Amino acid sequence: MISYCIGVLRGEVPENNPRKITKPVAVILLAHYVGDIHQPLHVGAEYFNQAGQPADPDNNQPGTEDEGGNSIVLRLSHGVPDLAGRKGALKLHGFWDGEAVMANLPPIPLTASKEERHQALQNAHKGLVGPLADHQPTNWRAPSGVPLNKYADFWADEILRVAREAHERLRFVYMHSTVDQGRTVMAGDARENPPPDGVPYADWSARVVRNELHKAGWRLADLLSQAVESTPLSSSAAIATPELIVTEKTQTASEQTPNAAPEPKIASSAAPNRPSGSDFGAYPANYKEVIVTWLTKYGLDASRVDWQTEPKPSEMPNGNGQHLSGYLVIFQTPDHGQMKTRSVLIREGVVVVNNGF
């Protein structure tokens, strides 16, 4: 359905389709579905054999599913005070839908009136949404080469790993088959295993939810931005905007998004103060500011930049068969816990080619 709605927004599926999904409806559904797919138990479920032991149907082990935790009672003993030792039925799926989300908001006194609770929640939402909107989450973009209509597949594969851990951190007892709305499912209890990282299940799940909400928001914005432009893209290197459009004639008038470009050819070791009318353009005295601004614009980690060289006149191919001239700067930035060497070519104060991203 996510792919179908993208097709409607891009004009690839007519609005008079059999499902009656118009463009406004597609936007509403995408806001719902993109959020949904980031809830681990909306994607992953555990399967059990008749003895109540986990089973893998993909390996010819007959098993019955637990409806994504809807038929399992979760019993917590550590972590968030109002969840630990809670009495009454707390379904595993419902916990991820509700309690794990609310754990990211300040607690509201039980004695608060309806109006006080509403106002407190409004204030709490603003306090949560602000930081999430102002700072890009790490690793939220799909890998280069994943087309827009396959984003949902990538997200589902990613969250499936979290769903697996959400089950592995629990042990299941008293598992038995039952019938729910005409379907045979497995039911029982889920209790905490000793956490491998020392973090109780309630606290761990709250962190997961915050991280997934963060990514889901940015991914929805990116998805809608790309879909409504009706310009099929093969990667999510950046949210396309008019100033990022590269014409066939020249690329020096617009910033280039991060990609893999061939190694640069350094033209010479000439003095940095070349005249502005040279083949390489004006020397970028403010190159550090230019690069940090460019990194930030595309959501790349600019928390630490180790400058390896000062700008040197050089040429670099841009991936379209063109060789652009400008000033080459080599530097390192964080990448998965270590520093990685990057390089960019600056022309008239603009990054026109990059390598190492």
Tell me the pLDDT tens digit for each residue of 41-54. Answer: 999 999 999 888 99
Whether 145 and 234 have beta carbons less than 8 Å apart is answered as yes
Closest of 284, 343, 297, 276 to residue 316, by C-alpha? 343
In this prediction, residue 34 carries a pLDDT of 97
pLDDT in tens, 123-140: 888 888 888 888 889 889
In this prediction, residue 317 carries a pLDDT of 81
Work out the pLDDT band at 259, boundaries 50, 70, 90.
Answer: low
Averaged pLDDT, 318-327: 78
Element (H, E) at 328: strand 323-335
Query: Between these two residues, 97 and 340, which has the higher pLDDT value?
Result: 97
Whether 37 and 155 have beta carbons less than 8 Å apart is answered as yes
pLDDT in tens, 278-308: 578 889 999 999 999 888 888 888 888 989 8
In this prediction, residue 279 carries a pLDDT of 77
**pLDDT winner (highest mean) among 81-90, 129-138, 170-179, 296-305:** 170-179
- Other C-beta atoms closer than 10 Å to the C-beta of 189 total 15
- Other C-beta atoms closer than 10 Å to the C-beta of 29 total 17
H-state helical runs in the chain: 2-9, 23-36, 92-94, 100-102, 114-134, 151-168, 201-228, 287-297
Work out the pLDDT band at 107, boundaries 50, 70, 90.
Answer: confident
**pLDDT winner (highest mean) among 46-60, 226-240, 249-263:** 46-60
Closest of 345, 324, 328, 329 to residue 279, by C-alpha? 324
Work out the pLDDT band at 254, boundaries 50, 70, 90.
Answer: very low
Work out the pLDDT band at 275, boundaries 50, 70, 90.
Answer: very low
Q: Which contacts qualify for 223-232: CB closer than 8 Å, 24 or more apart? A: 223/6, 223/30, 223/34, 223/148, 223/151, 224/9, 224/27, 224/30, 226/148, 227/6, 227/9, 227/10, 227/30, 227/148, 228/9, 230/9, 230/10, 230/11, 232/10, 232/147, 232/148
- pLDDT reading at 211 higher than 50: yes
- pLDDT reading at 234 higher than 60: no
In this prediction, residue 162 carries a pLDDT of 96
pLDDT, the chain, mean: 82
Owner of token pair 């930030």: 296
Phi, psi of 275 (to 5 degrees): -65, 150
The least confident of 33-37, 138-142, 161-165, 251-255 is 251-255
In this prediction, residue 264 carries a pLDDT of 47
- pLDDT reading at 39 higher than 90: yes
280: its two tokens: 């390489």
In this prediction, residue 263 carries a pLDDT of 47
How far is residue 120's CA from residue 107's CA, in Å, rounded to a whole number?
9
- pLDDT reading at 19 higher than 90: yes
In this prediction, residue 246 carries a pLDDT of 29
Averaged pLDDT, 264-280: 47
Averaged pLDDT, 309-329: 84
- pLDDT reading at 237 higher than 60: no
% of the chain beyond a pLDDT of 70? 82
Element (H, E) at 325: strand 323-335
- pLDDT reading at 260 higher than 80: no
% of the chain beyond a pLDDT of 90? 45
The least confident of 121-125, 143-147, 255-259 is 255-259
- pLDDT reading at 244 higher than 50: no
For the chain, the domains span 2-228, 242-355
How far is residue 292's CA from residue 192's CA, in Å, rounded to a whole number?
45
In this prediction, residue 266 carries a pLDDT of 44
In this prediction, residue 49 carries a pLDDT of 92
Query: Between these two residues, 297 and 229, which has the higher pLDDT value?
Result: 297
